[in-house]
Amino acid sequence: MKTPVRIRNYRPEDVEGIYSAVMASRRELSQWMPWCHETYSRQDTSGWVSSRPSAWERNEEWSFLIIDGDDTVVGGCGLHRLDLKNRVAELGYWVRTPSTRQGVATEATRRLCQWAFQDGGLERIEILASVDNRASQRVAEKAGGVREGVLRRRIRLGGRSHDCILYSILKEDLRH
């Protein structure tokens, strides 16, 4: 990894940096991220950022921005499908195209898992990656995810159903 990354909560002043990151990566992101569509706009970014505190308070999503050492937005990550009773959540991530293949998503995933286990009270993190999304699979594997199996027709992307590989990271996995 060229530059260290940090994760932090979203701030209103992040809108332009996020929008810029998404626009620089729209072609690649749109394959895997339904929110990154042809008409994605600054308003979409602004709405997302402003919705983060209430989503957090309702325990719907715990979202983080991925930033580099220069405080530049290089992506986002978060936990959704939170099941606090069973102490499990699904983890997702995206990285600005010029910052891919540098370990950014892997490091952000590790940091988010550490936070989730230490401060979020979770014991299991799940990562779903389309069988066609090899880059996302590599991130899950490098972050310590254990492949548990293939879930048939688990997600819809680009108007069609995709089989997904399910990875898990348990609290004790990070100790190794």
2 has pLDDT over 80: no
Write out pLDDT tens, residues 36-70. 788 889 999 999 999 999 999 999 999 999 999 88
Q: Percent of the chain having pLDDT more than 90? A: 73
Chain length of the chain: 176
CB 74 within 8 A of CB 67: yes
| pLDDT at 15 exceeding the cut of 90 | yes
For 33, half-sphere exposure in the C-beta direction (CA atoms, 13 angstrom radius) is: 21
Give the pairing type, strands 124-130 and 88-95.
Answer: parallel
The pTM of the full predicted model, rounded to 2 decimals, is 0.91
Residue 27 pLDDT: 79
Domains and CATH numbers, the chain: 5-175 (3.40.630.30)
pLDDT of amino acid 157: 82
